């Protein structure tokens, strides 16, 4: 399931530094605009304490975590929607992603230049918002022109409905709001599925702060929270410079000692990865045994046959049943056999909606 989160932001806000911490794929990081020209893609392991616990129980030969893809996209400037800077590349790259991780600089440092000369994360957010809205408006107006002709001719039965939805988007975008404000029912979503608007993508705001402000935040962070309060978007804080220091430490023990000294339970990038996983509406089920303990990624509200298909298409085609153990029962009883003897294995059919944390054994026949 190759779903991608695009990391966006103005130049010099900490995007590439965070991407470097997330991924072994090293994006160039320098104190000048446009140091990232081509999008860098990193496949990142999703931290999950439950998988660690399953490893302790079954002692498998190998452990395979869930993964998520992050794309570090070139910095954007005003006028990107008209091709300024690397705007066309930026907008094309972000269109291909499933969600947006928007990095905002919320720290003061005279040694790190800002493309607009001062620190104002709300202004920075609006700069990117406007460029995305303008590009979406261009897309909408082009589509309206085509659909209006079909609606007038009466040859396409869905054209009138499509035109009505497009005009709703146009009104919202012209008012300075994101396309995600527009709510669509299932039929309307089907009509718009190939529109690929930039501002309909879910977004997570990441405030890049100094390490001394991780616990308390600052005025910049509060301003961001106030600005996005009606967007139904999560806001988290990360100190990118501190994350870079943690990433340089070689051993797990060294990293844990560093975190303890900082008063932190886990690296900020772990928090970012988990938040991105939620943003994409993803959950995890597990398969485990002596050969392998593995975390599998699925979309929330997926039914058992489709979850089986995540492992292999044959599992979905020949699905018979799913033997499901709740994670807490597996950890409590310490084995599949013990769960079976205690009556803690549920036999589920095609209508079962897989739950986050389920430990599953699929039965199939092809």
Tell me the average pLDDT across 286-303. Answer: 97
Number of neighbours of residue 296 by Cβ within 10 angstroms: 19
Strands 359-364 and 319-325: antiparallel
Cβ pair 173, 199 in contact under 8 A: yes
Whole-structure pTM value: 0.89
pLDDT-based confidence at residue 39 (cuts at 50, 70, 90) = low
Task: Name the token pair of 282.
Answer: 């993803």
What was the pLDDT predicted at 239? 96
Domain spanning 129-199: CATH superfamily: Obg-related GTPase Ych/YyaF, coiled-coil domain (1.10.150.300)
CA distance 197 to 132: 9
64 annotated to bind ligand:
no
Determine the pLDDT at residue 93: 85
Q: What is the pLDDT of residues 42-74, one digit of tens each?
A: 889 999 999 999 999 999 999 999 999 999 887
For tokens 């072994």, the residue is: 24
Specify the fold of 4-117+202-279: Rossmann fold (3.40.50)
| Gap between the Cα atoms of 308 and 363, Å rounded | 9
Residue whose structure tokens are 């310490």:
334
The single-letter DSSP state of residue 289 is S
Helix (H) / strand (E) containing 323? strand 319-325
Q: What is the pLDDT of residues 194-219, one digit of tens each?
A: 999 999 999 999 999 999 999 999 99
Check whether 263 is labelled as a binding-site residue: no
The answer on pLDDT for 81 being more than 90 is no
Q: Is 81 annotated as a binding residue?
A: no
For 324-337, how does the pLDDT look when each residue is reduced to its tens digit (9 = 90+)? 999 999 999 999 99
pLDDT-derived band at 121, boundaries 50, 70, 90: very high
- pLDDT value for 26: 42
Please, what sign has the CA dihedral across residues 43, 49, 54, 59?
A: positive
Q: Please tell me whether 176 is known to bind a ligand.
A: no
The pLDDT, as a whole number, for residue 38 is 60
Report the distance separating Cα 300 and Cα 285, nearest Å: 11
The DSSP bridge pattern shows strands 345-348 and 319-325 to be antiparallel
Query: Which ranges in the chain are annotated with CATH 3.10.20.30?
Result: 301-364
**Contact, 127 vs 10, CB < 8 A?**
yes
* 14 assigned to a ligand binding site: yes
Give me the pLDDT at residue 269, please: 92
- Is 313 annotated as ligand-binding? no
pLDDT in tens, 233-292: 999 999 999 999 998 888 888 988 999 998 888 999 999 999 999 999 999 999 999 999
Distance CA 203, CA 179 (A): 12
Higher pLDDT, 37 or 180: 180
Segment 126-149 mean pLDDT: 93
Q: What is the pLDDT of residue 80?
A: 53
Question: What is the pLDDT, as a whole number, of residue 150?
Answer: 87
Question: In the chain, what percentage of residues exceed pLDDT 90?
Answer: 70
Of 31-40, 61-70, 169-178, least confident by mean pLDDT is 31-40
Segment holding 360, helix H or strand E: strand 359-364
Please indicate whether residue 26 or residue 101 has the higher confidence score (pLDDT): 101
Judge whether residue 28 has pLDDT over 70: no
pLDDT of residue 34: 41
CATH of domain 301-364: 3.10.20.30
- Three-state DSSP class for residue 70: strand
pLDDT for residue 22: 87
pLDDT reported for residue 1: 57
Query: Sign of the C-alpha dihedral, residues 109, 114, 116, 119?
Result: negative
Strand partners, 321: 363
| Main-chain phi, psi angles of 71, to 5 degrees | -120, 120
Edge-first strand listing for the sheet containing 4-8 = 40-45, 67-72, 4-8, 99-105, 203-208, 234-238
Span between the terminal Cα atoms of the chain, in Å: 23
| Separation of alpha carbons 237 and 217, rounded Å | 8
Residue ranges matching CATH 1.10.150.300 in the chain: 129-199
Q: Give the mean model confidence (pLDDT) for residues 1-21.
A: 87
Where in the chain is CATH 3.40.50.300? 4-117+202-279
């Amino acid at each position: 399931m190759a779903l991608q989160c695009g990391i966006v932001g103005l130049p010099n806000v900490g995007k590439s530094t965070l991407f470097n911490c997330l991924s072994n794929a090293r994006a160039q990081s320098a104190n000048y605009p446009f140091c990232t020209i081509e999008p860098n893609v990193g496949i990142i392991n999703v931290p999950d304490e439950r998988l660690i616990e399953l490893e302790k129980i079954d002692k498998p030969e190998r452990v395979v975590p869930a993964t998520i893809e992050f794309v570090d996209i070139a910095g954007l400037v005003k006028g990107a929607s008209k091709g300024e800077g690397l705007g066309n590349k930026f907008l094309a790259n972000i269109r291909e992603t499933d969600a947006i991780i928007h990095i905002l600089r919320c720290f003061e440092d005279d040694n790190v230049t800002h493309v607009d000369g001062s620190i104002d994360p709300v202004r920075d957010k609006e700069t990117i918002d406007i460029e995305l809205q303008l590009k979406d408006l261009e897309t909408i107006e082009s589509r309206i022109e085509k659909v209006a002709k079909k609606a007038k001719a009466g040859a396409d039965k869905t054209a009138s409905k499509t035109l009505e939805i497009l005009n709703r988007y146009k009104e919202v975008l012209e008012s300075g709001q994101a396309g995600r404000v527009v709510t669509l029912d299932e039929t309307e979503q089907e009509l718009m599925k190939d529109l690929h608007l930039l501002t309909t993508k879910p977004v997570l705001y990441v405030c890049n702060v100094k390490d001394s402000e991780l616990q308390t935040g600052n005025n910049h962070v509060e301003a961001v929270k106030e600005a996005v309060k009606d967007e139904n978007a999560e806001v988290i804080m990360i100190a990118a410079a501190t994350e870079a220091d943690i990433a340089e430490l070689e051993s797990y023990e060294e990293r844990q000692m560093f975190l303890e000294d900082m008063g932190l339970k886990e690296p900020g990038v772990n928090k970012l990865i988990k938040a991105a996983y939620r943003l994409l509406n993803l959950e995890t089920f597990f398969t485990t045994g002596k050969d392998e303990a593995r975390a599998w990624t699925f979309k929330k509200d997926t039914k058992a046959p489709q979850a089986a298909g995540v492992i292999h298409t044959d599992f979905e085609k020949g699905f018979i049943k799913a033997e499901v153990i709740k994670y807490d029962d597996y950890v409590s009883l310490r084995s599949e056999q013990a769960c079976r003897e205690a009556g803690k294995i549920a036999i589920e059919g095609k209508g079962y909606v897989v739950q986050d944390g389920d430990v599953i054994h699929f039965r199939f026949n092809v």
